[in-house]
Amino acid sequence: MEGKLDVLSKQVEDKSDDMQDMESLNQVLVLKERMNNSELQEARTELKSGLENVLSQQSLFGIKRMGELNSEPFRDACMQKFLGEDLEIKSIELCSLWQENIKNQQWFPFKTIQMNGKCDEIIDVNDDKLKQLKDAWGEQVYKVVCVALSEINEYNPSTRCAVPEIWNFKENRKASLKEVIGCLLNELKVLKQAKHR
């Protein structure tokens, strides 16, 4: 019996040592992951700041300000209601008004739903302000406001200010660092070839 206890005690001690080693390894891996994420975020931030001046107009990638309204649907809606110079002024005023509404932290036109065990916030289609917007200015203006609201709620819900994001305009999504760097390298190659001609 004493021999069995010694064996069990030794096994427990070995397992305890193994567990401490695993905890140490886990801490190292977590630290490395944080450092890598930090480095990626720094690279992404640097890329955002320099991207606007580097890419051509025909490029698939660029900076999109998440939560900022696209003014075209406002202009189109105003074209149907106003004539002449009033059109531009009214369009700018309307777009600015709704950009301010989006920034207003007191207005929260979202509802929380649960899907697959996760809570998610979606636009509340029964929000009075959004209903009035849709009735007064149409589906396209309503949609662009909903898109901007969703973006601001995802990217910067605390201050509700527009946030720059590297964007793939062809596929209408956030761009990966890999694809943007590949695009930049291709453009560099084209510039280099043009220089040698």
Q: Give the whole-angstrom CA distance, residue 132 versus residue 129.
A: 5
Say what the pTM is: 0.74
Residue 191 burial (C-beta neighbours within 10 Å; 0-12, 13-18, 19+)? exposed
Same domain, 27 and 42: yes
Same domain, 149 and 175: no
Q: Is residue 18 part of a domain?
A: yes
Same domain, 50 and 78: no
**How many structural domains compose the chain?**
2
Q: Which residues contact 21 (CB under 8 A, 6 or more apart)?
A: none
Q: Give the whole-angstrom CA distance, residue 50 versus residue 57.
A: 15
Same domain, 94 and 130: yes
Query: Which has more confidence, 66 or 2?
Result: 66
Same domain, 11 and 88: no
Q: Is residue 96 part of a domain?
A: yes
Q: Is residue 123 part of a domain?
A: yes
User: Is pLDDT at 150 greater than 70 in this prediction?
Assistant: yes
Range of the domain at 15: 2-63+171-195
Same domain, 75 and 116: yes
Q: Give the whole-angstrom CA distance, residue 68 versus residue 148.
A: 6
Q: What is the pLDDT of residue 58?
A: 67
Q: What is the pLDDT of residue 112?
A: 93
Q: Is residue 92 part of a domain?
A: yes
Q: Is residue 166 part of a domain?
A: no
Q: Is residue 9 part of a domain?
A: yes
> Structure tokens of 45?
């931030």
Phi first, then psi: what are they for 166, rounded to 5°? -75, 125
> Structure tokens of 9?
């005690």
Query: Which has more confidence, 107 or 197?
Result: 107
3-state secondary structure of 165: strand
Q: Give the whole-angstrom CA distance, residue 22 versus residue 13.
A: 14
* CA atoms in the 13 A half-sphere facing the CB of 40: 9
pLDDT tens, 51-109?
Answer: 766 665 667 888 889 999 999 999 999 999 887 778 889 999 999 999 999 999 999 99
Same domain, 103 and 72: yes
Same domain, 75 and 59: no
Same domain, 152 and 78: yes
Same domain, 136 and 57: no
Same domain, 25 and 72: no
Q: Is residue 126 part of a domain?
A: yes
Same domain, 79 and 123: yes
pLDDT tens, 6-44?
Answer: 888 888 888 888 899 899 999 999 999 999 989 888 888
User: Is pLDDT at 179 greater than 80 in this prediction?
Assistant: yes
Tally of CB atoms within 10 A around 52: 10
